[in-house]
Structure formats: C-alpha cells, structure tokens
Structure 1
Amino acid sequence: MRKEECYELGYVSKTHALDGEIAVILDVDYPEDYIDLESVFIEMKGDLVPYFVETSFFNNDKFILKLEDIDTVEDAAKLKSKILFLPLSVLPKLENDQFYFHEVIGYSVTDDAYGELGDVSDVYKPSSQAIMTLYHQGKEVMIPMTEEIIQTVNHEEKKMQVKLPEGLIELYLES
C-alpha cells in the first residue's frame, strides 16, 4: 500500500498495560467509527507496514489497540510516535458540502469580493483549526477552513466558494 492511497488515522502516543497494547490519538471527527478496525498500516522507515488488530476499545478519551505480534510493552514502545494509516477506500461517505481535506486539494477557490483566488495547493491542521493554502498573484495565501468562510463546495466541478474576512488577502499581497 502506498502512502498516497491512505489517510492518517492518528499516532501512537504511548504504551498501555503490559501485553503490547498501544494508546492512539485519533485525528478524526468521529472516533467511534473506528472501533471495529480489522487492520492498520504503520509507517516504519518510510514504508507502510500492515498490522492486524486483535482488539480495540476506548479507555476514557484514549483509543486502545492490541495489534497482532505486538505482545510486550517493549514491542509496543517501538511504535511510540508512529503514524497510523488506513486506505482511502475505507473513509466513511460524507454528505452535501462536507469533505475530507485531501479531497479539496486542486479545487478552484472563488471569493465573493475578489473573484477567482487560485487552486488549493495543500491543507494543514497545525492545531484545532485547519488551514488551506493557495497561490494568488504569486503569493502563498493561507485561509482558515471555517463554516463562516467556506460557503459552498461543488465536488462535481471541483470548486469552492468562500467569503473571506475583510483584509485577509491584502495581508499576503503586501508582503
């Protein structure tokens, strides 16, 4: 499986118990959708390695996985900070204007006041607020991905209509 065919599910934060369980911080909107995982991919030295899931459960706000062939706390410790991936094909289907970040890369972005701004070149989620980047008049522009800013998303035409806060574009064009 290639990384381009997958999405990040989360990362291993620490070991859990003594039998090789790992605590995973999920980077998804609906963690409960992932309770019945059969397998995951873990990035090891640049490659995605498949692991079968023996058990999974929630312990308070942590998602706990027991992976096949990871049977000791020492085995589990080797996975600390590793990123878990799942194939794009298992993403739950979304409705209407909802989208996954990877889906809108390449979409054309148009603003009510400024007209066509450019195509989404990347999406970052450095904290709780996701940000899309695009190039407008040769300058990189970062746009917060909020419900107030994103007005509509047309998946068929690969277009996104936004309403930017006053002065946002000028901040980037002046520098």
Structure 2
Amino acid sequence: MGLIPYGVISKSHGFGAGVRLVPYSRDLSNLAFIKSVYIKTGGSADFKKYTILGRSISKKYAILDLEGLETFEQAQELRGKEVFVQTEQLSNPSEDEYYFFELIGLSVFSTDNKLLGKVSKITDSAQNILVVEMLSGKQSLIPFTEPIVKEVDVINKRIVIDPPAGLLEL
C-alpha cells in the first residue's frame, strides 16, 4: 500500500464533526472515488485510517465526514494534520497527464542525453513548474509545457527537456 500526501485539514466544519480538506492539487476530481484517507497521528510511520462517510466538494476544498469523528472537538484535533491517500484509489491519469508524485525524483536529461539533474518538487500554479536540483548544485525552474518538456518516461524515471537558451542559467 503506497500512501501519498493529498492535502491538509485546515479546520473543522460547522458545529459537527466534519473537517475541511484543502488539497495540494487544484484538481479535486479524484476525491469522488477515494473511500478512505490516512492521517498522521504521531511518529513518521503512524497513520490512522478514516473511512469517508460523506463529502461535499467545492472548487478549492472539500468537507469530509469521517468515520470515528463524533464531536466538534475530535474534528478540531485534526486541524493542521496532513492527509494521505492510497495511490491505488486514484484514477488513472489521461495520456500525457501525470500525478506530481510520479514526477518527483525523475532524472532530467537534455535532448542530447546529458544528465542535468533531478526533479525535487513541482509548483501547483497557473503553469506547473518543475523544480530541478541541477548537478551543479543550483536549482532551476523548468516550465512543464510541451515546447520545453519533450518526453516523460515514468517507468524509466526520466524526463527529456529542450530548454530555450538561457533558461538553465536563470
């Protein structure tokens, strides 16, 4: 069972035991299919599983009713906690679409097969940006767009880019 970070509980909802989940991604469509979430309870490997009993999804967040949460106080205790989901519960992305967790750690190559660095994170903004830790030790921001990103091979853990002149020097 692989768990990936999905979002954070920002606060309780109303006077009941509901919680507001703010996702790390702008796309909440997967939440309709997710049956349970995992929340860190203590140490790095300690998770508690919560079955989702009900959900209300808006553009920027979701309200979840979780099994085992009976009171407002119990919901408040989860405030600020990170929420994880099983990768198996996520729908398969369309062709040429990827989950961020699939891209982090991939090696980045130039079109002439020169290793440039590794993807350390991705910004979720109007235009997704790959943050690449270059072999030189510096960080480069690479727009995740078709003219620059030529190939993504998740299985072989590589991305091929053709950056415009000067992009890697910024």
Q: Answer yes or no: same fold by TM over 0.5.
A: yes
**CA–CA distance in structure 2, aligned partners of residues 30 and 170 of structure 1:** 32
RMSD: 2.4
> Unaligned regions of 5+ residues in structure 2, if any?
none
How much has 1:92 moved relative to structure 2? Answer: 1.7
> Corresponding residue for 2:98?
99
> Which stretch of structure 1 is more off in the superposition, 65-74 or 30-39?
30-39
Give structure 1 stretches of 5+ with no counterpart.
none
Identity of aligned residues (%): 24
**Cα separation, 1, equivalents of 2:155 and 2:84:** 27
SS of 1:14's partner is strand
Task: Specify whether residues 116 and 50 from structure 1 end up closer, same or farther in structure 2 by C-alpha distance, changes over 3 A only.
Answer: same
Q: Which moved more, 1:149-158 or 1:84-93?
A: 149-158
Measure how far apart 1:43 and its partner are.
1.2
Contact 1:111 1:162 in 2 (8 A): yes
Please give the residue correspondences for 1:40-55 in structure 2 after superposition, counting only pairs within 5 Å: 40-46=37-43, 47-55=46-54
Aligned equivalent of 2:169 = 170
How far 1:106 moved relative to its partner? 4.0
TM-score by length of 2: 0.81
TM score, norm. by length of structure 1: 0.79
Q: 1:103 to 1:62 in 2, by over 3 A?
A: closer
Q: How many residues align?
A: 165
Matching of residue 35 in structure 1 with residue 32 in structure 2: yes
The corresponding residue for 2:11 is: 14
Structure 2 Cα separation of the partners of residues 115 and 163 of structure 1: 10
Shift in Å at residue 84 of structure 1? 0.6
